[in-house]
Amino acid sequence: MSLTVQNITKSFSDFAALDNVSFEAHSGEFLALLGPSGSGKTTLLRLLAGLDQPDSGSVTFEGEDYLALNARERRIGMVFQSYALFRHMTVEQNIAFGLNVRPSKDRPSKAEIKAKVQSLLKLIQLEDLGKRFPSQLSGGQRQRVALARALAISPRILLLDEPFGALDALVRKDLRRWLRRIHDETGVTTIFVTHDQEEALDLADRVVVLKDGQIEQIGKPLELYRKPASSFVFDFLGTNNQVTATVSGAEAKFDGFTAPAVVSGELTGPQVVRFRPFDAHLSKDGPGFKGKVLSILPAGANLRLELQSEDGTVFETQHAHDSDASDLALNDTVYVKPIKVYVFGN
Amino acid sequence: MTTDSPISAGDARLETNGRSAHQIKPEGFKPPKATHRTQHVLPGFHASLGITLTYLSLIVLLPLVALVLRPWEAGLDGFIRTVTDERVLKALQLSFTTAFWAAVVNLFAGLIVAWVLTRYEFPGKKIIDAIVDLPFALPTAVAGVSLSSLYAPNGWVGSLFDPMGIKIAYTPIGIFIALVFIGLPFVVRSVQPVLAEFDAEVEEAALTLGATPMQTAIRVILPSLAPALITGFSLAFARAVGEYGSVIFIAGNMPYISEISPLLIVIKLEEFDYAGAASVAIAMLALSFTILLVTNFVQVLLSRRGRA
């Protein structure tokens, strides 16, 4: 019970939108396709839905050749970024659409459709708004209706294109949690596209990171975070600081101090190394990179500092609000010492 | 190192630590005063409204008032006698029924033409797109002459039907054909932009939900075109009711059979029966106005659906 994508390639006139992409979505899995715009993630989703055809490669679902089926026959629930609700239909009519258009021999009875719509309205917590038109709903509510409409056809796979793209931060967070719960309740294999790394890491069982139409890495959120496969994945998943060091074995040597290094592959000698803002230790008199406090950003769960070294490099570091770092003032001189660095060959 | 500006910005942030950002107001900043005038996005509301009303009064209302005042010269009796005259009634009936059916035909034909022009790419598309406007651009008399020569018993098309005993030119059928001809661009041009801007994702959504192309067209696309279709219909109808130039050449203009109301007005004018002409005109005006009012009402209902 799984979706297998093998060696999919798709070009638009002269540029390759997808280049030899292969991955698998297990049954009931919540998979994220993560990448910057232009990485091919939406193209991939459209191929899965049957709205586009690949140049080569195969897509199979439980052994069935999906590419031989058209979009109508694949029974895939697709939620579009623009919601794509039917404006002239009420919420109930929107949700029932997929059932009403079935040929009469497959169509559930009127009463069954009504019951299904009611249960979906309950699921999306819009029981009282069934008679409304989409234009009378908020963005978050429309998103939920679009999801209910896709779920109504009991899809084999649920595809979501930037499901939270057009919503404000608070609604996003709420819907994210809610979507995860819906997924756990329905158990339908779900693939969603996002450019927001936080969203992907929070929500998905596994994340497929795409760059320029190729897969950079596939892994569980924590794997991605702990063992990024490339500098691209590392940089895309969060803020990064870059310095040069001499790498030997699992150690990076700096001017007067060392730090443990996570090295991908066999790399020695002078290299660009990266470290996360929270993998930085501050001290008043070294060792470390000497820097001046450029700005203090107190908002959020952590205290964030921007430090500028003498050669102009700006570091971002993160500290607990009650740590020593909270005593720092602007223009103070401190030493930054990375306590863990990552080294990538590419 | 030139760190002056970040420092001062940082200082402000530190001092106001704990206060929310919107409480900080830069020196010398005054929020704009909220008066009812600032609610109008366009400037000069009063002036533009004044111009609009004056212009409409002069160009539209004044002639109508003159028209409404005219027929009473012959008294109420005269008016009633004129509009209940059988010849007038027949002409009114002919004008409005042929215009209605021509608009109905154009509703479907125009929809198909607009669909083909927006949905498909084919060689010569630009030319066909331009041809649609021809009935619009062609002087009506030219259209009338060419149509009547085409459909006359010895014309290209007319000669095909003549042996079967079907006469097209100089009968109500000819009028109908002329009205279909002149009405087409109205439906096409009303529907085309709406169809072109139709969200492709909505259609794809219908597809993934299992709808056939036909179901998508009928259940999803057509309903959103309804307001534009009604606009096109009422424009085509209004134009057809008032059409004169192209019709009089092909109609034959036989009283009681193929005489349209605008022609009757002209005939009455030529007989110096100004009051009679105005009476027929008022009857036409009242009928047209009622029909447009109804279609507008239906349109409002339709476009309010799913938008309010």
Q: pLDDT tens across A150-186, in order?
A: 999 999 999 999 888 778 888 888 888 888 988 998 8
Put residue A28 in one of left, alpha, beta given phi > 0 → left and psi -120 to 50 → alpha. Answer: left
Strand A157-161's sheet: what is its strand order?
A: A76-79, A157-161, A189-194, A30-34, A206-211, A214-219
Contacts of A242 (CB under 8 A, 6+ apart): A272, A273, A274, A313
Chain A residues whose CB is inside 8 A of the B208 CB are 49-51, 71-72, 74, 76-78, 150
Specify the pLDDT at position B254.
84
If you average pLDDT over residues B172-190, what whole number do you get?
A: 93
Note the pLDDT of residue A49.
92
**What is the reported pLDDT for B27?**
56
Q: Which of B7, B10, B199 is closest, CB to CB, to A82?
A: B199
pLDDT of residue B6: 40
Which of A175, A105, A174 is CA-nearest to residue A146?
Answer: A175
Q: Which pLDDT score, from 0 to 100, does residue A78 have?
A: 93
Of B202, B208, B223, the CB nearest to A49: B208
* pLDDT bucket at A259, cuts 50 / 70 / 90: confident
Residue given tokens 């209605």 in the structure block:
B100
Q: In the predicted model, is pLDDT for residue A117 greater than 70?
A: yes
Q: Could you tell me the pLDDT band of residue B178, with boundaries at 50, 70 and 90?
A: very high
Shortest Cα–Cα distance, A321 to chain B (Å): 13
Residues of chain A with pLDDT > 70: what percent? 99
Q: Does A132 touch chain B (CB under 8 A)?
A: no
| B3, B14, B207 ranked by CB distance to A72: nearest | B207
Residue A334 has pLDDT above 80, yes or no: yes
Percent of chain A with pLDDT over 90: 42
Residue A26 has a pLDDT of 92
> A interface mutation test: which of B208, B218, B305 has the most A CBs within 10 A?
B208
Question: Which of B206, B208, B223 is the closest to A76 by Cβ?
Answer: B208
Q: Which of A99-113, A295-309, B280-294 has the lowest mean pLDDT?
A: A295-309
Chains A, B: CB contacts within 8 A come to 102
Window 166-225 of B, Cβ < 8 Å to A: 199, 201-202, 204-212, 215, 219-220, 223-224
Phi, psi of B5 (to 5 degrees): -70, -45
The alpha-carbon gap from A266 to the nearest alpha carbon of chain B, in Å, equals: 40
DSSP per-residue codes, A213-257? TEEEEEE-HHHHHHS-SSHHHHHHTS--EEEEEEEETTEEE-SS-
Residue ranges covered by each domain of chain B = 4-74, 77-307
Interface test with A, best of B1, B198, B209 (most A CBs within 10 A): B209
| DSSP code for B219 | I
Give A42-94 pLDDT, tens digit per residue: 999 999 999 999 999 999 998 889 999 988 889 999 999 889 999 889 999 99
Question: Do residue A86 and residue B220 have CB atoms under 8 angstroms apart?
Answer: yes
CB A75 within 8 A of CB A153: yes
Helix or strand or coil: residue B271? coil
Chain B positions touching A298 (Cβ under 8 A) are 13, 17
Reported ipTM:
0.83
Q: Is the pLDDT of residue A244 over 80?
A: yes
Chain A residues close to B215, C-beta within 8 Å? 101
pLDDT band at B32 (very low <50, low <70, confident <90, very high): low
CA atoms of A48 and B57, how far apart (whole Å): 61
Cα A140 to chain centroid distance, Å, stands at 19
- When scoring A72, A105, A296 by the number of chain B Cβ atoms within 10 A, the one with the most, hence best to mutate, is A72
Chain B contact set for A49 (CB, 8 A) = 204, 208
By Cβ distance, the residue of B11, B14, B215 closest to A101 is B215
The answer to whether residue A210 scores a pLDDT higher than 90 is: yes
- pLDDT at residue A100 greater than cutoff 90: yes
pLDDT at B165 over 80: yes
State the smallest CA–CA distance between residue B209 and chain A in angstroms. 5
- Would you place residue B3 in the very low, low, confident or very high pLDDT band (cuts 50, 70, 90)? very low
User: Looking at residue A54, what is its pLDDT?
Assistant: 92
| A296 to B223: CB separation less than 8 angstroms, yes or no | no
Q: Does A178 touch chain B (CB under 8 A)?
A: no
Domain covering B77-307, topology: MetI-like fold (1.10.3720)
Task: Please give the mean pLDDT across all residues of chain A.
Answer: 89
- Pairwise CA distance, residues B30 & B34, whole Å: 12
Shortest CA gap A125–chain B (Å): 21
Q: Which domains does chain A show, CATH number per domain?
A: 3-227 (3.40.50.300), 239-343 (2.40.50.140)
Put simply, whether A80 touches B (Cβ < 8 Å) is yes
Among A80, A87, A294, select the one facing B6 at the smallest CB separation: A294
pLDDT for A249: 81
CB contact under 8 Å between B223 and A88, yes or no, is yes
* Distance in Å, alpha carbon of B207 to nearest chain A alpha carbon: 6
Asked if A133 lies within 8 A of B308 by C-beta distance, the reply is yes
- Conformational region of residue B128, where left means phi above 0, alpha means psi within -120 to 50, and beta covers everything else: alpha
Whole-structure pTM value: 0.76
Per the CB < 8 Å rule, is B204 touching A51? yes
Q: Quick: pLDDT tens for A118-141.
A: 999 998 889 899 999 999 998 889
Write down the pLDDT at residue B7.
Answer: 38
pLDDT value of position B40: 59
Asked if pLDDT for residue A219 goes beyond 50, the answer is yes
Secondary structure (3-state) at A317: strand
> A84 and B199 in contact by Cβ < 8 A?
yes
Percentage of chain B modeled with pLDDT above 70: 85
- Of the partner residues A51, A75, A88, the one whose CB lies closest to the CB of residue B305: A88
What is the average per-residue pLDDT within B194-218? Answer: 92
Mean pLDDT taken over chain B: 83
